[in-house]
Amino acid sequence: MSGLEGLFARTRAEGRAALVGYLPAGFPTVLGCIEALIGMVAAGVDVVEVGLPYSDPLMDGPTIQRAAEIALKGGTTTDDVLETVRAVAASGAPTLVMSYWNPVERYGVGRFADAMAAAGGAGVITPDLTPDEAGPWLDAVGAAGVDPVFLVAPSSTPERIARVADVTRGFVYAASTMGVTGVRSQVASSAQDLVGRVRRATDLPVCVGLGVSTREQAAEVAGYADGVIVGSAFVRRLLDAPSVVDGVRASVALAAELAAGVREPAVAREP
């Protein structure tokens, strides 16, 4: 059983969704990111996504783009990303990397998969890699024992959802909207329908991302999804803070708030 399988088995037994927290490696600094993520885990984040900063982040909104710029200007490398994974995974939370495909390909497909395994990483999310083009990657992560995670969107056809579910391990990432990442006043109404369509195709856990920023939104999504993914809201806490120390405290406080949301009685939860 992989780390992600074990985690979702536990949260399902507890009758709740998992909280998935994201920060780009190297933001606000390499050590500051590690400190924030470990603190977020202690405050209730169940799964961690470590972003690999990239200079052409097509799916990212302005908040995460700004954080990636700061990380890149600070000299963050792929090896720094892997060291972040190693440090955070040691805290006990399944830790993934979220990366556009180009940096993985440049690093070396097999080399990256092996490095993730060596760092204790649980999986890799590749938002711009389609299953149809993922053959070498699937071979590499399969050999390394690392879970490949792919995305579905509200526009995904039943055939596309089935194809994604066939190659994904760990969980299916359900993007709640067709837009870029960012905090929103409410979670898209299409999210619950998308989760239902994915569940008709697979028994894998389904995690919803893009837009969640408050305890109330986390509780809402936790009522129908297996996991609630939060990224921009954590990044914003760090961006708005006057210092790294204050930003870490703010991100940990948000983690506690969101963790309380996903742990609220889930009377609406679907089996």
State the Cα–Cα distance between residues 137 and 15, nearest whole angstrom.
34
In the residue annotation, 5 being an active-site residue is answered as no
Q: Which of 49, 80, 147, 220 is catalytic?
A: 49
Q: Tell me whether the omega of the peptide bond preceding residue 62 falls within 30 degrees of 0, making it cis.
A: no
Supply the pLDDT for residue 56. 78
State the Cα–Cα distance between residues 5 and 228, nearest whole angstrom.
16
* Average per-residue pLDDT for the chain: 92
**In the structure, what pLDDT confidence band is assigned to residue 210 with cuts at 50, 70 and 90?**
confident
Contact predicate 222/44, CB 8 Å: no
In the residue annotation, 257 being an active-site residue is answered as no
Task: At 262, give phi and psi (nearest 5°).
Answer: -75, -15
Q: Which of 46, 60, 80, 147 is catalytic?
A: 60
State the Cα–Cα distance between residues 238 and 99, nearest whole angstrom.
21
Max mean pLDDT among 169-183, 188-202, 225-239 falls in 225-239
pLDDT value at 184 more than 60? no
Q: Which residues contact 73 (CB under 8 A, 6 or more apart)?
A: none
Helix, strand, coil percent content, the chain, rounded in steps of 5: 50, 15, 35
- The pTM for the full model equals 0.92
Q: Tell me whether the omega of the peptide bond preceding residue 136 falls within 30 degrees of 0, making it cis.
A: no
Supply the pLDDT for residue 180. 41
**In the structure, what pLDDT confidence band is assigned to residue 266 with cuts at 50, 70 and 90?**
low
**pLDDT tens-digit series, residues 134-181:** 999 999 999 999 999 999 999 999 999 999 999 999 999 999 754 444
Domains in the chain: ranges and CATH: 3-262 (3.20.20.70)
Please state, in angstroms and as integers, the Cα–Cα distance from residue 133 to each residue in 86, 163, 164, 256, following that order.
28, 12, 12, 39
State the Cα–Cα distance between residues 134 and 175, nearest whole angstrom.
19
**In the structure, what pLDDT confidence band is assigned to residue 55 with cuts at 50, 70 and 90?**
confident
The candidate with the shortest Cα–Cα distance to 269, out of 12, 8, 6, 5, is 12
pLDDT value at 182 more than 60? no
Supply the pLDDT for residue 134. 97
Range in 9-13, 53-57, 136-140, 248-252 the model is least confident about: 53-57
**In the structure, what pLDDT confidence band is assigned to residue 57 with cuts at 50, 70 and 90?**
low
pLDDT value at 100 more than 80? yes
**In the structure, what pLDDT confidence band is assigned to residue 20 with cuts at 50, 70 and 90?**
very high
Contact predicate 109/64, CB 8 Å: no
